[in-house]
Amino acid sequence: MIKIKGIAVSPGVSIGKAKILTREKIKIDKKKISLEQVETELSRFGKSVDEVIEEINLLIAGISDNDESTEILKTHKLILKDPGLKENVTKLIKNDLYSLEHAIQKHFTNVIELFKNMKNDYFAERSSDYEDVAYRLLTHLMQNEKDILDVLDENSIVFANNITPSGVTKVYARNIIGICTEKGSKNSHSSIIARSMNLPYVARAPKLLNKIKNDDTIILDGIKGEIIVNPDRRTLQEYEKIKDERSEKQKELVQLIGVTARTEDNHEIGLMCNIEIPDEISVLKKIKSAGIGLFRTEFLFIDRDELPSEEEQFKIYKKMADSIKPHPLIIRTIDVGGDKLSRVLNLESEINPNLGCRGIRISLQHIPIFKTQIKAILRAGEAENIKIMFPMISALEEIVKVKKIISTCKKELAEKNINYDANIKIGAMIEIPSAAITSDCIASECDFLSIGTNDLIQYTLAVDRDNQGVDKYYIPHHSSVLRLMKLTVENAHKHNIKVAVCGEMASQIKYIPFLLGIGVDELSVSPGSYLEIKKIILNSNLAELKLQAEKVLQISATKEIEKALKEMTENYD
């Protein structure tokens, strides 16, 4: 038995036989063509593009129940219809006498390298879409595609160096039960499709293909990010039980899709999702999330040589808002430390960035960049379902400054006759003890508050959550943390505004009854835990939870608090 560790990019457990996916390397004849052959090659080009588009249309028709796959295949069609493709291939054929195959290879090689060299992971991962289209077009032309996916049996688990979005789509169509790759990331199109299909996927498993062979028995743990090769009987039995239990649980949870998150005593709880990148919206649509409670915008800024323009941001925010309308989209302005933006902003690294210039501080030190983001959000807000949330607020004065900047942005947009949401709602993230303690003041200037538990715990307990040497002190249910959360809720309600929780605690079952009991109005959770959290809400009695939460708040000892929280969740088993 061998255990191989990777990263979990799509949750779930599968047990099946290993099948190694290999793509035949395409060999291109780079011999020059004659002038007489130019028109023939150009004619072949137009015909082959049309035929491959038709192949994609047939694929779309076969998977019409999966929004994400459909959208990505539509993206592939747009790549084929791109005027740049036609222009470059035509030039290479006419001017350099390239064969059609050679011209296509040259064009896509340049585009793929351009994407791969981007420092931003989100954009770098888009290279796989171009690789996919290039391979599809070339194999169609050369009529030599040999794809193991076409002949795989059901209950196979695919192993590969990497897998393209269309490869994941084929896996789905053939009832293959899992994917393992040496490369890949959580933000790749392939990973997003896998999540939308509930297909277990473990990526970044080093030297994976050297450790397995075809027909090995495999346990794929997409929760832990682990691959077990040829497990012993005991391990196999344990995972078969886990798999069966998850399957039964999933059948039950699926019935909750579209059901309003309302407690037994008729209190509706706003239940939304946190997302990192726009592509994740397809997963939210599948579970019918009631909105996006936290959209992290950092992917637009980190590791880039140029800052995103107002227009680039506007288009992204607008498309997202339109796609989930009428549900809310809460956009958090950029929340990174100066160390991560040093290349773009020319900043020096900080000794302790967590206690330095991050969140709203960096925005207020770089007003032009901040205004660009605010204007983009205001313009997209014309959809009337966008709210703005500001991170790392530590004092009332910061919110006052932010509101003045928003007013200036509105005025500047109005002077240019640009439409925007004049009544956009604004909120503050409560993730610093000073903000929680003065949340009554902050609430007076906001339309809503959102508790970011990850940083609130870190700053309250003086514990770096990424430092394994002190991780035992990182205790979400520490009495000080719970009391600060309760104080924040009380202060928000005094000003008749709602308060949400969007940190990790909101996605953990053991804390949900307590959060409901202290009066939290909304929860923004990871998509993978959404339906489980909804089940807890549906089976809750808010009046009872309020009494139980009050008792928890009277306890000082951490172990006793842990015991009390466990008792609160026992009724849900």
b (16+ CB within 10 A) / e for 283-293: bbebbebbbbb
- Cα(320)–Cα(306) distance, integer angstroms: 23
Across the range 129-140, mean pLDDT stands at 85
Q: Which of 197, 146, 184, 177 is nearest to 21 (CA)?
A: 146
Residue showing tokens 């393992």: 180
Question: Above 60 in pLDDT, residue 297?
Answer: yes
Q: What is the CATH number of domain 262-570?
A: 3.20.20.60
Residue 111 CA from chain centroid, whole number: 25
pLDDT at 448: 98
pLDDT tens digit sequence for 335-392: 876 445 545 666 666 666 667 778 899 899 899 999 999 999 999 998 889 999 999 9
Instruction: Considering only the C-alpha atoms of the chain, give the largest distance between any 2 of them, rounded to a whole number of Å.
Output: 89
The side-by-side arrangement of strands in the sheet containing 217-221 is: 2-5, 226-229, 217-221, 13-20, 156-160, 178-181, 201-203, 7-10
pLDDT the model gives residue 338: 45
Picking from 131, 120, 72, 111, the residue whose alpha carbon sits closest to that of residue 312 is: 120
Picking from 116, 166, 114, 157, the residue whose alpha carbon sits closest to that of residue 136 is 166
Domain 35-142 class, CATH top level: mainly alpha
User: E-strand spans in 393-527?
Assistant: 425-430, 448-451, 498-501, 522-525
3-state helix, strand, coil in the chain (%, to 5): 55, 15, 30
Task: Among 52-61, 79-88, 407-416, 444-453, name the one with the lowest average pLDDT.
Answer: 52-61
| pLDDT of 387 | 98
pTM of the model: 0.73
- What is the pLDDT at residue 28? 83
Of the listed ranges 7-21, 61-75, 86-100, 443-457, the least confidently predicted one is 61-75
pLDDT of residue 51: 87
Nearest Cα residue to 15 out of 184, 247, 193, 209: 247
Quick one: which of 152, 198, 200 has its CA closest to 178? 200
**Percentage of residues in the chain having pLDDT higher than 70:** 89
The CATH-assigned architecture of domain 2-23+148-234 is 3-Layer(bba) Sandwich (3.50)
Q: What pLDDT was estimated at residue 17?
A: 92
What is the model's pLDDT at position 471?
73
The rounded distance, in Å, linking the Cα atoms of 184 and 205 is 9
Ordered alpha helix ranges (H), 512-557: 512-517, 530-538, 542-553
163 pLDDT above the threshold of 90 = no
Is 262-570 the same fold as 35-142? no
Confidence check: pLDDT of 215 > 80: yes
Catalytic residues: 189, 502
List, in order, residues 6 or more apart from 504 with CB less than 8 Å away. Answer: 453, 454, 476
Task: Evaluate whether 527 touches 292 at the Cβ level (below 8 Å).
Answer: no
Segment of 37-41, 166-170, 520-524 carrying the highest mean pLDDT: 520-524
What 8-state DSSP symbol labels residue 504? Answer: G
Q: What is the mean pLDDT of residues 44-55?
A: 88
Please report the pLDDT score of residue 183 as a whole number: 86
Give me the pLDDT at residue 123, please.
Answer: 67
Domain ranges in the chain are 2-23+148-234, 35-142, 262-570
Give Cα 431 distance to the centre of its chain.
Answer: 21
pLDDT band at residue 250 using 50, 70 and 90 as cut-offs: confident
Query: What crossing angle do the helices spanning 83-96 and 38-62 adopt, rounded to 10°?
Result: 150
Q: How many CA atoms lie within 13 A of 90 on its CB side?
A: 8
- What own/partner pairs with CB < 8 Å and gap ≥ 24 does 562-568 have? 562/477, 565/477, 565/510, 565/511, 565/513, 565/514, 566/510, 568/513, 568/514, 568/517
pLDDT of 223 > 80? The answer is yes
Give the integer Cα–Cα distance in Å for 20 and 17.
10
The answer on pLDDT for 21 being more than 50 is yes
Q: Across the chain, what does the average pLDDT equal?
A: 87
Q: What is the pLDDT of residue 342?
A: 47
On the question of pLDDT at 66 being above 60, the answer is no
Among residues 329, 307, 316, 271, which one has the least CA distance to residue 535? 271
